[in-house]
Structure formats: structure tokens, C-alpha cells
Amino acid sequence: MSQRSERRGIHVDQSELLCKKGCGYYGNAAWQGLCSKCWREEYQKARQRQIQEDWALAEKLQREEEAAYVSSHSSSQTQPPQSQSQQSLATFSKFEEKKTNEKTRKVTTVKKFFSPSSRTAPKKVPPEKESEKEEKLQGRRESHGENLLRDLKGIFTQPWEMASPTEESHEGKTPSPSITRQSSIETDRVSRDFVEFLKTLQKLGRDIHKQSRGFIESMGNKNDLSAEELSECVQDFYQGMSDRLMNHFKGSSEKVDRVMDQVEKYIMTRLYKSVFCPETSDDEKKDLATQHRIRALHWVTIQMLCVPVDEEIPEVSDSVVKAITDIIEMDSKRVPRDKLACITSCSKHIFNAIRITKNEPASADDFLPTLIYIVLKANPPRLQSNIQYITRFCNPSRLMTGEDGYYFTNLCCAVAFIEKLDAQSLNLSPEDFEHYMSGQASPRQQDDPAAWPQSGSRVNPALSQIHHNLKLLSNLEKRQQEVTEGAQNLQTELSEWQDSVAREVQEILERYPLEIKPRASAIDAENVENDRLPPPLQPQVFAG
Amino acid sequence: MAAAGGKTYSFKVVLLGEGCVGKTSLVLRYCENKFNDKHITTLQASFLTKKLNITGKRVNLAIWDTAGQERFHALGPIYYRDSNGALLVYDVTDEDSFQKVKNWVKELRKMLGNEICLCIVGNKIDLEKDRHVSVEEAEGYAESVGAKHYHTSAKLNKGIEELFLDLCKRTLFLNAVYTVSLSVFHNTTGFMINQNCVFQSATWHCSFTHKQLIMFSVVL
């Protein structure tokens, strides 16, 4: 192990990074050292041939190879995984913005190191004729990793989830996709739920499970396909599956829908990482463009869009906040249907806000501007990628006619509107629009200062809130001043009173000076019956 | 079709027209039988569904309201994509709104051809005395573009039930014609011409009964 990791960094030089076909572009180890273009050509050829392979042959090969593996185990271990090092290097330098993607890939790379398949990774891959053989070879070796993993999994999962023999042969044939290894807690949970659900369908359930797994495996090979081709594969699968189910349930579309929802959930949870915002598409670029666009439009107000929502009403602003939260949350969901559910929930909150404001059911005339406003306020992450993902991989029956589809269409409209938005669509003059866009002016600064409180409340709820608070504060300050003034008054009054009292006392004292007459004589002189009194008590001294 | 008895048809119908012509009132009246009700329990009137049964065929009608403001006009294609029918609503007291309908018709015919069932709806006939769009003009125009014209009043609940029923029948018919013509003319060089021919007749002869038309299309 340590030996291998030491060699990793040293063995790469510039020439090895270039496409093996010598077309001058950089190659990628993930594409057998070819550049994307050459690899696609090669791969298409190889795949055509491979499709013709027999299942039985694959099974036979696997048995043979199991024996071969034991003998070749020690020798192959020492071979340096040249291609692996290239891959990790390539991924490190690639696309700074795809941080999340990169992270998962790095994890995969590490995982690959620990899986037996990496030990047998070939040093150099012959580009043309041998690619097919190589594919097979790799596939067979890969299957050991798979088997190992499955054995491990089998300890924790129900026996039913374990693959059937035919499936094993299938896996043995195709190079295993990395997605199956990236089983996070969520995918495990979804798989378990799926299996639980399918148990209720008995034989049909087993059939569905087999097909779904097979499909996921086969999708693992198609990383180089364009997003549209991937979409086609998934849609074909949906179509085939729902046709079969339609036959089985004898046309009960309700049951078919129920099963299809589960199938979609299972498949898309598994495929999410590889097909969401794929590198072959420019979704990411569009995401960034939209994000910048929305940021540049931060100055757009409720009035410009004629949004029939009054955020002064606490209930309404509550709904607005909820709607924003929902639309942002969409990005965190994996299954297209769950993403749609987020949009629907967001729309419901919007309707609620409109109904409270206008006191009548919301029409599309009200709804669309409000949705646009919400999208502008929320600036949902990876909006374009999410929309594309839903369009490509959602079960079409849901997207075309249902309520979810309607809200999704509105979201698409909102995004299209934001992209094309100009001065006219906001009822502004082109000059004003330019000024606002360039940040030279803000719609709020043009308001007459005198009219500030009124227009402030119309311009922006946060601003009006601030204004309101300021007014409260200034009121408070005034009152506080009054209180301190009152207190000071009271203090001076008090001290004045004290002084005046003191003065008065002094005056009286001065006016009536105190004369103290000798007390004893006065009493004795007036006391006539003095003699009858008993003699006064005299203190007596006791000895001891 | 084999599953004609058990199959449920799902049709998408878009509501197009200028703001304030009564699109929302129309659909609320149809689906909820309400007009300017103060105690409306409906949260929204932009997406409504209605289940119908037309000569034994089950139809799920999904009615999509669209934003009528001029600034959203460019978003139309996103809304009417894949729709089976379009209700083009105008206000009989508003000449402008009728002009808007003409624009919509042109656009729809250009983008979707004859696959879509067009209904031109003159709403607010309760305001007959303020009428600015003559009946002859409107009906003449509708016929010239292969659409059918209807008069409705959401306020008085006039003509609405008939409008939607007729729309469904015509959509069902178009659907049938499309399927039949596909099977009949598939893989022939004259496919496009024949298809067009059938569609033209389909949209122009909607006064026929449903049964007659089905037979007619089968004969073709």
C-alpha cells in the first residue's frame, strides 16, 4: 500500500497526460487515456461489439476468472495504478466550481484504491482493438469488488435485496458504475423502501427490481453520453416499464402510477449524482448566468412587477417566506417528483398570499408575477440544472398534464421572463433600466424625501419596516426626553421646595426667637398647693 | 382503438386572452359554478380539472390559465406546448381584446398547425348593449381560421357548459382522426398532404355529430 502511494505522484509526466491518440488534447484516465472526443468514438465502437456478447458467455467467464483471480492476485498487486494517479490529478485540476462534484469523485478515487479492481488497473491502455478485450477484462475484475461489496452489504440488508445469479453475471459483464459504491445513507434507505414496496407485488415486484437494478448498472457505463441521450435512456426505460405495468394491471393507470413513482424514486436517487448537471452539458454555465442575472435584478420591486401581494400583512409575508424556503429547498431533493413537490408547495403558499391580499382565488394573471417575484427574491441555487433535470428525468405523464406540471411550466416561464426581462416589461424607460442595472441609481433614491414614508412602504417591505422602526425609535426618544425633562423638573422643584421650607423655617425662627425660661422657678412659683405634695424622692445610697 | 372502452383521455386546454376578459371567471364558473362569490373556498383558479363522460369515453380535462398581460405574451409557447385545445377569450365590449385573439390564432396555427382545437369565445354577453365586436365579424373570422365561435357569460352562466362539452367532443374527434390518419397514411409519401387534408376537414366540419365524424375519418 505505502509503496503504491509513494509512486503515485512521481510517475506522471506531461506526455502521459495527452490523448493516447495524439490528437493534441489532454486525455483522461477515466476515458482510457483518451480525450473526450476520441474516447467517444472508441467507446461507441466497443459498445456495439459488446452488446452482441452473450449472457451465458459472461457467466462462464466469471467462473473462470474467479479461479484466475486467486492465482493472479499477488502478482497484479504490485503493479502501479498509473491510470488512477492520472485520474486523481485530472480531477483535482478540473473545474473549480464543481466543488461538490469533485468531492464525491475524490471519495470515489479513494474507494477505488481500496477496492480490488484498482490493483489490476492496467498501466497503459491500448487504444483501438484491445479496448474491447480490456473492457471485458476490467469488467470481470471489477466484479470482484462488486461481489465483495455485495457480501458486505448482504450482512446488513435483507436477503431479498441480494442479487440473483443472472444479475451477478450481468454485473460481471459490465464495468460497475461508481454510483453503486457511493451508497449514502439516503440511497440505502430508498433502496430498502423500494424493496419493501415491491414485496407487496410479489413476483412482479421481483421482476421490477431486477430490471431497475439492471438499468442502473447499464447507466453506469454511459457517463460519456450527452444529457439528452441519458434522458432518452431513462425515458425509454420509464416507457417500457409503464407499458409492462399497464399490461399487468390491465389498464388501471392508478396502480401503474403508484408503482412508477416508486421506480422513479429508486432509479433517480441512484443515478442522481451522475446525471444531475452532467459535465457534458452546459447546465452549470446556465446556472451561473441565471444566478448573476437575478443578482443584478435585485432592485426590481413589487410595484414594477405588479405583484398583487401586500407584505404589510403579517400572514402574507409569512406565506412569502415559506414560498421562498420551498423553492430553495428544491435543490436538496434528488427525485424529480420531490423537486416538483417543492415547486407545488411553493405555488400553494403564493396562492395563499394572493388570496389573503385580494380576497379572491388567484388567477394566472396574479400568480405568474408573484412567482417571478419569489424567484427573484429567493435566487434558488442551481435553478437551471434543476429545471433541466426535472425535464429530462421526470416521469412524463406527471409533467405533461398534472397540477405539478402546471406549476413547473410556470416556473419555466418565470425563469424565461427573468432572462429576457427588459425596461419595457417593467414599465420603465430604457435609461432608468440601464441605470438600475448598472447600479448607478436605485429606484428608491428618486423618491421625493417628503413622500418618503408613503412610498417607502410601497417600495420595499424591509425598508418600510425599517422606516416604521425608526419612527417608533424617534417617538421613543422624544418620550424619553420628556421623561428626563420631567425628572429634572421634579428634581429642581424638590430642591426648591427644600430651600423654600428651609427659608420659611428660618424666617419663622427669626421672627419668633426661641426664649428658654428657667423651668424650675416657673413651676414652683405658680404651684400653690406645693406644701401638700409629698416630699420629692431622694436618691438613697445603698452600701454593697 | 382497442382500449377505447376503458381508456381515460387526458386533455390539456389553455386559456388565452388579454387580462380582464374574464378567463378566470369563465373557468371558475365551469368547474366550481361560482361567480364573484365572497365565500370562495378555492385557493386558486389558474389550474383546474374537470372529469367528463362523453358518449362513454372518460375525459380528464386540465384547464391551464395563462397570464394575460402583454409583457408575458412571449411566454405563450411554454404554456401551450402539448395542449389539445385552446380557448381564446375576448370581451365583446372590447375591440382590442378581439385583436389579441387574432394574434393568438395566428401564432397557434403557426406553431402547432391544425393539431390543436381552437375555440374563440366572446365573453360578457350580459353587456350586450355595450357590444363593440359584431357577431358576424367574430363568427366569420372564426370560420376563416378553422375555429369555432362561442358566446358566453360567466356572470349569467350562459353558454359555458356547452362550450366545454363541444370542445371535448372536437378534441376527441381530432384525437381519433390523428390516430387513424397516422395508421392509414403512415409510411406513404402523401402522408403530410393527407394528414393536413383530414385536419382541415376535421376543424371545419365540427357541426357534424361525433359518430359521423369518426366514420368519416375511418372512410378516409
- Tens digits of residue pLDDT in A342-398: 999 999 999 999 988 888 888 888 899 999 999 999 999 999 999 999 998 988 877
Q: Where is average pLDDT lowest: A156-160, A243-247, A318-322, A471-475?
A: A156-160
Instruction: Supply A325's cell numbers.
Output: 424556503
Tell me the chain B residues in contact with residue A413 when contact means C-beta distances shorter than 8 Å.
67, 72, 75, 78-79
Residues A294, A288: Cα–Cα separation, whole Å? 10
Q: Which of residues 393-412 of A touch B (CB under 8 A)?
A: 400-403, 406-407, 409, 412
Residues A47, A132: Cα–Cα separation, whole Å? 8
CA distances to A18, A363, A425 from B46, in Å: 56, 5, 22
Question: Any idea what DSSP says for residue B53?
Answer: E
Residue A125's region, left for phi above 0, alpha for psi from -120 to 50, else beta, is beta
A530 in contact with B at a CB cutoff of 8 Å?
Answer: no
Radius of gyration of chain A measured on its C-alpha atoms: 42
- Residue A328: per-residue pLDDT: 94
Residues A394, B165: Cα–Cα separation, whole Å? 32
A254 in contact with B at a CB cutoff of 8 Å?
Answer: no
Residues A222, A12: Cα–Cα separation, whole Å? 27
- Residue A350: per-residue pLDDT: 93
Give the containing element (helix H, strand E) for A61: helix A55-77
Nearest Cβ partner of A367 from B6, B10, B46? B46
Give the contacts of A532 (CB within 8 A, at least 6 positions apart).
Answer: none
CA distance A299 to chain B (A): 19
Considering only CA atoms, which of A185, A177, A178 is closest in space to residue A110? A178
Name residue, grid cell 435609461: A431
A5 in contact with B at a CB cutoff of 8 Å?
Answer: no
Three-state secondary-structure class, residue B88: strand
Mean pLDDT of A142-149: 50
User: ipTM score of the complex?
Assistant: 0.81
Three-state secondary-structure class, residue A83: helix
Q: Nearest 5 degrees, angle CA A350-CA A353-CA A354?
A: 90
Mean pLDDT of A163-167: 39
The rounded mean pLDDT for chain B is 79
Tell me the chain A residues in contact with residue B45 when contact means C-beta distances shorter than 8 Å.
361-363
- How far is residue A454 CA from its own chain's centroid? 38
Please report which confidence band the pLDDT of residue B199 belongs to, taking 50, 70 and 90 as the band edges. Answer: very low
- Tens digits of residue pLDDT in A60-116: 666 776 666 665 554 444 444 444 444 444 444 444 444 444 444 444 444 444 444
Question: Does residue B3 have a pLDDT over 50?
Answer: no
CA distance A401 to chain B (A): 6
- Residue B182: per-residue pLDDT: 58
Considering only CA atoms, which of A279, A272, A295 is closest in space to residue A386? A272
- Residue A36: per-residue pLDDT: 80
Mean pLDDT of A132-143: 46
CA distances to A37, A275, A377, B17, B112 from A231, in Å: 20, 9, 31, 35, 24
- Residue A139: per-residue pLDDT: 45
Instruction: Indicate whether this model's pTM tops 0.80.
Output: no
CA distance B136 to chain A (A): 30
- Residue A110: per-residue pLDDT: 45
The Cβ of residue B80 has, within 10 Å, a number of other Cβ atoms equal to 23
The rounded mean pLDDT for chain A is 74
- Tens digits of residue pLDDT in A196-251: 888 888 788 888 888 888 888 888 877 778 888 888 899 999 999 888 888 888 77
Q: What percent of chain B is predicted at pLDDT more than 70?
A: 75
- Residue A521: per-residue pLDDT: 56
Nearest Cβ partner of B44 from A367, A369, A425? A367
Residues A294, A378: Cα–Cα separation, whole Å? 9
Please name the residue ranges forming H helices in B2-134.
23-32, 76-80, 95-112
- Residue A161: per-residue pLDDT: 43
- Residue A181: per-residue pLDDT: 47
CA distance B83 to chain A (A): 9
The Cβ of residue B79 has, within 10 Å, a number of other Cβ atoms equal to 25
Q: What percent of chain A is predicted at pLDDT more than 70?
A: 66
Mean pLDDT of A10-18: 62
Chain A / chain B CB contacts < 8 angstroms: 88
Burial (0-12, 13-18, 19+ Cβ within 10 Å), B36:
exposed
CA distance A373 to chain B (A): 14
| Cβ pair B44:A253 closer than 8 A | no
Question: Does residue B85 have a pLDDT over 50?
Answer: yes
Three-state secondary-structure class, residue A333: coil
Please report which confidence band the pLDDT of residue A33 belongs to, taking 50, 70 and 90 as the band edges. Answer: confident
Give the highest mean pLDDT range of A23-37, A109-123, B16-30. Answer: B16-30
- Residue A72: per-residue pLDDT: 55
A351 in contact with B at a CB cutoff of 8 Å?
Answer: yes
Residues A274, A262: Cα–Cα separation, whole Å? 20
Give the contacts of B57 (CB within 8 A, at least 6 positions apart).
Answer: B4, B7, B9, B172
- Residue B200: per-residue pLDDT: 45
CA distances to A96, A133, A479, A484, A502 from A491, in Å: 70, 102, 18, 10, 16
Question: Any idea what DSSP says for residue B86?
Answer: E
- Residue B43: per-residue pLDDT: 73
Give the containing element (helix H, strand E) for B54: strand B47-54
Residues A417, A422: Cα–Cα separation, whole Å? 9
- How far is residue A405 CA from its own chain's centroid? 22
- Tens digits of residue pLDDT in B122-170: 999 999 888 999 999 999 999 999 899 999 998 899 999 999 999 999 9
Considering only CA atoms, which of A126, A118, A167, A162 is closest in space to residue A144? A118
Q: Nearest 5 degrees, angle CA A359-CA A365-CA A367?
A: 70
Name residue, grid cell 434507505: A189
Residue B97 in contact with residue B18, Cβ under 8 Å? yes
CA distance B3 to chain A (A): 8
- Residue A506: per-residue pLDDT: 92
CATH superfamily for B8-174 is P-loop containing nucleotide triphosphate hydrolases (3.40.50.300)
- Residue A16: per-residue pLDDT: 66
Question: Any idea what DSSP says for residue A12?
Answer: -
| Cβ pair B49:A403 closer than 8 A | yes
Give the contacts of A524 (CB within 8 A, at least 6 positions apart).
Answer: A530
Residue B16 in contact with residue B104, Cβ under 8 Å? yes
Residues A396, B149: Cα–Cα separation, whole Å? 33
- Residue B100: per-residue pLDDT: 92
- Residue A519: per-residue pLDDT: 63
- Tens digits of residue pLDDT in A330-349: 999 989 999 999 999 999 99
Instruction: Supply B59's cell numbers.
Output: 375525459
Higher pLDDT, A34 or B189: A34
Which residues of B lie inside 8 Å of A (Cβ-Cβ)? 3, 6-8, 10, 12, 15, 19, 23-24, 28, 38, 40, 42-47, 49, 60, 62, 64-69, 71-72, 74-75, 78-79, 82
Please name the residue ranges forming H helices in A249-282.
253-275
| Cβ pair A416:B78 closer than 8 A | yes
Mean pLDDT of A184-194: 82
Please report which confidence band the pLDDT of residue A11 belongs to, taking 50, 70 and 90 as the band edges. Answer: low
Considering only CA atoms, which of B171, B179, B181, B70 is closest in space to residue B119? B171
Dihedrals phi, psi of A177, to nearest 5 degrees: -75, 150
Mean pLDDT of A152-164: 44
- Residue A484: per-residue pLDDT: 96
Q: Where is average pLDDT lowest: A159-163, A186-190, B93-97?
A: A159-163
Question: Does residue B67 have a pLDDT over 80?
Answer: yes
A424 in contact with B at a CB cutoff of 8 Å?
Answer: yes
Question: Does residue B86 have a pLDDT over 90?
Answer: yes
